[in-house]
Amino acid sequence: MGVTTAPKTRRVKKPGRLIAEIICVVIAGMVAFPVYWMVLSAFKPTGQIQAENPRPWTLTPTLEHFERVLSGEGFALFFLNSVIVAVVVVALSLLLSFLSAVALTRFNFKGKTVLLVMVLVAQMVPVEALTIPLFFLMRSVGDVAPAFGTNHLGSLILVHLAFSLPFAIWMLRGFVAAVPQELEEASKIDGASRMRFTWQILFPLVAPGLVAISVLAFIHAWNDFLFAKTFIISNTENQTLPLAILVFFKPEDTDWGAVMAGSTLMTIPVLVFFILVQRRLVSVMGGAVKG
Q: In tens digits, what is the pLDDT along the chain, a chain of 291 residues? A: 455 555 555 565 677 788 888 999 999 999 999 999 999 999 999 888 888 888 888 888 999 999 888 887 778 889 899 999 999 999 999 999 999 899 888 888 787 788 878 877 877 878 888 888 888 888 888 888 888 888 889 999 999 998 888 888 888 888 888 888 888 888 888 888 888 888 888 888 888 888 888 888 999 999 888 888 888 888 888 889 888 888 888 777 788 889 999 999 999 888 888 888 776 665 554 444 344
Torsions phi, psi for 14 (to 5 deg): -70, 145
The contacts of residue 191 (CB under 8 Å, 6+ apart) are none
- The pTM assigned to this predicted structure is 0.82
Give me the domains of the chain, ranges plus CATH numbers: 17-62 (no CATH), 73-287 (1.10.3720.10)
Interatomic CA distance for residues 257 and 246, integer angstroms: 13
| 3-class secondary structure, 233 | coil
What is the separation of C-alpha 277 from the centre of its chain, rounded to a whole number of angstroms? 12
